[in-house]
Amino acid sequence: MKKLIALCCIGMMMVSIVFAQKTMKAIVYFDHDMYRVQPSSTARLDSLMRNLKNKEITAVSITGHTDSDGSNGYNDTLSQNRAKTVSDFFTSKGVDKSKIKIDFYGETKPVATNSDDAGKQKNRRVEILIQYKDVATADFFSGMQKQAQVFKVSASDVITIVGKEGTKITIPASSFVTMDGKKVSGQVSIQLKEFYKISDMIEANLVTASDSDILETSGMINIEATSGGQQLKLADGALMDIVFKNKTTNDSMALFTGQEKDKKINWVLQQNMASGQLSDTSYYSTEKLMSQGTGQDAPVNGVFNKTTVITKGKHKGMVGINGGVTKDTYDTTSMKNQTTFDALIMRSSKLGWLNCDHFMNKQNIIGLLVKIDPVLKPTLRLVFKGLNSVIDGNYYSEEYVIFNSVPVGKKATVIGYGTLDNETYYGAKDIVIARDKPLVLDLTKTSMTAIADELGKLNK
């Protein structure tokens, strides 16, 4: 009968790593009748943990196995001890014990034959499955986050607010209800964040993508409303008008709603709850859009006491009149020659994350590979030049990040940032997207102030 050996050496241990989008697998192999991890072998597990740097580990499954030498009972205990040894390693590295699950199966689940030494070596193993989340970009830029603009309004009034960057929102009177549908009266607090600049989007972990489709944006906002500490929504049938104050040459913009998942926002084409139709869009070219018809400039704090009325008359370059105004308000004779619009009005049935976008052409697209430092594990973004568009990359393997479905011939900038040993790193590279060998992106140690300056250059 064999003895359990608590102080023996592991003469051989190999760690194999396979990356998936949100899981990492590893296998630890043991020598005959041994289970203790020695320092020389721990170095290989340390490499595994470095690959998880800047990740949030959510669960670890550890399963112990043996070859067929010895009795069933002995092998059950040996596989349990192997699994516990690996579990102790993870807890020593700060992984919460409650996130670790241990199983052991002795010799009952071989992956190879037990009739020769090579097969037995494969069976003497601990299998590790790690589930994790990427640490959000917003956490990296936590000290640079935008503060919400707050507007105090009356729920019973028609509400019009204007943000610091020009977004104008008009909400009909008595449109707010609680999340369970109860009508709201009295004071309402509206919180607004505006994102028109690429740098602001990156710092807020925002990208211009709808699932796998790339978008170009004319502006993103986040609008929330509360009363008495309760979250509010728009009542069924209530629609608010949003003016996105940003120049565009595109006449196919639509409104997208943001859905949060794993600390990221995915944009989904919005349908109005009241009618089931796609959100309406109107296009305008006029320097006085924000105060047209009021006879006054935008008021202090951006709050109007009543609806801003756009009077009848000629308004240059307005097309697609389907929004929160009537058709007979405008003269459309010049719209055929209009190529640039100063603002877009959209109508929404929802609060929350809203984005004025159009889909980018998907012809002649490729997957763009970028080689990175596998120890640093940076976050990568691809910023398109001449377009208000930024997308994120996904880890293709330990050393490569891929940007999917990007158009060949477009000029862009690849950027990367991350932290290692409490130091911040950043890198950027201007490219023309082409069917070529993978790019190499080098990052250098820098400061958050310098990174902010570099991101500002992307707005030009």
Of the candidates 104, 113, 95, the residue with the CA atom closest to the CA atom of residue 45: 95
Edge to edge, what strands does the sheet with 55-64 contain?
Answer: 15-19, 23-29, 125-134, 55-64, 100-104
Instruction: Decide: residue 447, CB within 10 A, 0-12 exposed, 13-18 middle, 19+ buried.
Output: exposed
DSSP 182-224: -B--SEEEEEEEEE-SHHHHHHTT---EETTEEEEEEEEEEEE
Helices (H) and strands (E) in the chain — how many of each? 6, 29
pLDDT of residue 124: 93
pLDDT of residue 289: 33
CA 159 from centroid of its chain's CA atoms: 31
pLDDT of residue 332: 33
Domain with CATH 3.30.1330.60 in the chain: 15-134
> pTM of the full predicted structure?
0.64
CA angle 400, 401, 406 (to 5 degrees): 130
Structure tokens at 395: 């880890």
CATH of 365-457, one of 2.60.40, 2.60.120, 3.40.50, 1.20.140: 2.60.40
Classify the C-alpha dihedral 229-233-236-239 as positive or negative.
positive
The three-class DSSP label of residue 48 is helix
CATH of domain 15-134: 3.30.1330.60
Domain with CATH 2.60.40 in the chain: 365-457
Percent of the chain residues topping a pLDDT of 70: 76
Query: How far does the chain reach from its first CA to its final CA, in angstroms?
Result: 75
Residue 1 neighbours by CB distance under 10 Å: 5
pLDDT in tens, 354-393: 999 888 887 888 999 999 988 888 999 999 998 889 999 9
Section 164-179 average pLDDT = 94
